[in-house]
Chains A and B, each alone.
Chain A
Amino acid sequence: MAIRDWPIKRKLTAILLLISGLVLLLTSAAFVTYEVVTFRQTIRSQLATRSRILAANSTAALAFANEADAREILGALKYDPHMVAAALYDRNGRILATYPAAPSADLIPAAPQPDGYRFEGGRLVGFTPVAQGENQRLGTLYIASDTKAVSDALRLSGVIAIVVLAIAMLAAYALAAALQGRISAPILALAETATAASTRQDYSLRAPKFGEDELGALTDSFNQMLGRIEEQKQELQQHATRLEQRVAERTKELERRALELQAANSELDAFAYSVSHDLRAPLRSIDGFSQVLLEDYAAQLDQAGRDSLQRVRAASQRMATLIDDLLKLARVTRTEMRTERVDLSGMAREIVLDIQRTSPDRQVEFAIAPGLEAQGDSRLLRVVLDNLLRNGWKYTGKQPQPRVEFTAVDENGDRVFVVKDNGAGFDMKYADKLFGVFQRLHSSAEFEGTGVGLATVRRIINRHGGRIWAEGIVDQGATFYFTL
């Protein structure tokens, strides 16, 4: 794991150990160095002291060049195991005696060197003047000691330093482990709270506070933030609840209205059904028995009587037509719309063929533009075209060259369908009455009709989300425009 990914606890412990280790190491190095330097100085001065004593003892032997005495004096050095070699030189630099008695050549320099004590080639060597009185030099004493004592001392202080270092590091680790908690615990608690809050989305949690330091301030800020989130969440929830309530209320209201509408619709259905069934039956009786009278009692009736009966029959048949038209109008509102692509040109041609087939005696010129299409309910649109084309056909009845057109124009991006005739037309004063139920601008004597057709047409157009309007000039024709 990379160091930056270590847990904070480990990082803190590592930092503490690193610092204390470094400090201890430097201290130990200083200690060992000081020990060694001090010890070298000590053994040098010891060697100097011993040399001076030995030199003082050697004056007689050297003054009389007594070799045996000199050798004896030097032989006392055997009690110090560190002493490696020694020699006495006379005034002329010749060797008078050596220790050990027969030393190897490299142990003892051939001639005395300048006075003094120094470490040389792993040994401590010293040249001490041997003098009688103040200024009468008799010769030189040479002593060589090994430095084992120094290395022993060095080893000892090294071992001490390592042991101290180890104990100190252990103590430092224990202390670090115990004390890092002061810093890491608040951070860990904060981290734990943050994680819990974000994973469980529980903003009522609060991080525990351990003190008034910067971490304490951070904990406070974090807790405040959680508090604000909690408040906002509650507010949001309240809003949502209120919204849900309102939606539920509205839904209920809508459902209630839908039920009402359904009830109204089924009432209307029942009404229409009963109209279609029950209102026609008496008409059939009226018409039927009038006909019976005309057939069976024609002899007893004069012309006026027969005429009256014919009028009764015509009226009842007219009422039947009215009922049928009204039912059609009601059905237009009730039937479900099925939207599809409708070929209006083809539909218009079929209607025209039907008109021409049922009334072959009239010659009306129909001009139907090809390729007119629309999106809508084909059955309802057929009712629209049927009404408009038949109207055109009907109201051109007194025209010597009757003509009906079905075309379309584009107006402000909207497709506007146009049915135009050159028939009776109408006065624009009454244009707004054109589409009302039972509204007629011509008498039945002039042109037959119930006044329901255009009302039906407008209702269908409205159900398609379109508009219908008309323009007319009396005796010159009418033009109907509609969009879908």
Chain B
Amino acid sequence: MNPGKILLVEDNPDDVTLTMRALKSHNITNDVVVAQDGVQALDYLFGKQGRSPADDLPAVVLLDLKLPKLNGMEVLQRIRSEERTKLLPVVILTSSDEERDVIDGYSLGANSYVRKPVDFVEFTKAAQQLGLYWLLMNRAPPSPRGP
């Protein structure tokens, strides 16, 4: 088992860079896999066009909401509806502070909802805490048996 990968679903390259930097600068050495839209994220989790998924499931998915093609809510819905991924920890990491999004996110089974702070110092703190918590402290659900 490959311990603790992070799947970062984020379309904004700036945010990708900053998130990576925040995670790396705090000695979180785990691999970060980036999906730039919802379709890529699902391809990574479920395999593309009949091919089996490349890797084991990640330890956590950091999911942006506003994404091209499939938005974050749709991705979350799909993750929760599949036997293989229904227990996968998903953290919504977004700019939105809308109550509607918070309620929808939790209703669809998100494990956490974090708003990205504009202040990069704050942002770095948040990313670090997320990484530490979900990779090191959190006990992940047992890996599902392969198909």
Contact = CB atoms under 8 A, between A and B. Distances in A.
Interface of A: 272-273, 276-278, 280-281, 283-285, 287-292, 313, 316-317, 320, 324, 327
Contact of B118 (A272, A273, A284, A292): A284
Contact of B14 (A278, A281, A316): A281
Contact of B119 (A272, A276, A278, A287): A287
Closest 5 CB pairs of A and B: A320-B118, A285-B14, A291-B120, A288-B120, A288-B18
Contacts of B97: 276, 324, 327
Contacts of B21: 292
Q: Is the interface of A mostly helix, strand, loop or mixed?
A: helix
9 contacts: A272-B98, A276-B95, A276-B98, A284-B18, A284-B116, A284-B117, A287-B118, A288-B14, A320-B118
A317 B66 contact: no
Interface residues of B, number: 20
B29 to A, nearest CB: 20
Contacts of B96: 273, 276-277
Given A277-B95, A281-B95, A317 B119 contact: yes
B65, B66, B116, B119 pick with most chain A CB within 10 angstroms: B119
Given A277-B96, A324-B97, A284 B65 contact: no
A281 B119 contact: no
A278 B18 contact: no
A284 B123 contact: yes
Nearest to A286: B118
B36 interface: no
B12 to A, nearest CB: 6
B95, B98, B118, B123 pick with most chain A CB within 10 angstroms: B118
Contacts of A273: 96, 98
A291 B25 CA distance: 13
Contacts of A327: 97
A316 B117 CA distance: 11
Contacts of B98: 272-273, 276
Given A273-B96, A292-B21, A324-B97, 10 more contacts: A281-B12, A281-B14, A284-B15, A284-B118, A285-B15, A287-B118, A289-B14, A289-B18, A313-B120, A320-B119
A162 to B, nearest CB: 108
A346 to B, nearest CB: 23
B121 interface: yes
Contacts of A276: 95-98
B30 interface: no
Contacts of A278: 66, 95
Contacts of B123: 284, 288
Interface in B1-52: 12, 14-15, 18, 21
Interface string B95-110: 1111000000000000
Nearest to B21: A292
B94 interface: yes
A278 B116 CA distance: 12
Contacts of A281: 12, 14-15, 95
Contacts of A285: 12, 14-15, 18
A358 B97 CA distance: 22
A88 B124 CA distance: 176
B120 A287 contact: yes
Contacts of A283: 118
B71 to A, nearest CB: 11
B95 A280 contact: yes
A291 B116 contact: no
A277 B120 contact: no
B15 A291 contact: no
A273 B99 CA distance: 11
A317 B21 CA distance: 20
Contacts of B14: 281, 284-285, 288-289
A425 B94 CA distance: 40
B121 A280 contact: no
A277 B118 contact: no
A284 B120 contact: yes
Interface in B112-147: 116-121, 123-124
Given A284-B95, A289-B14, A277 B65 contact: yes
A280 B12 CA distance: 12
Nearest to A319: B118
Contacts of B117: 284
Contacts of A277: 65-66, 94-96
Given A277-B65, A278-B66, A284-B15, A317 B95 contact: no
A284 B122 CA distance: 11
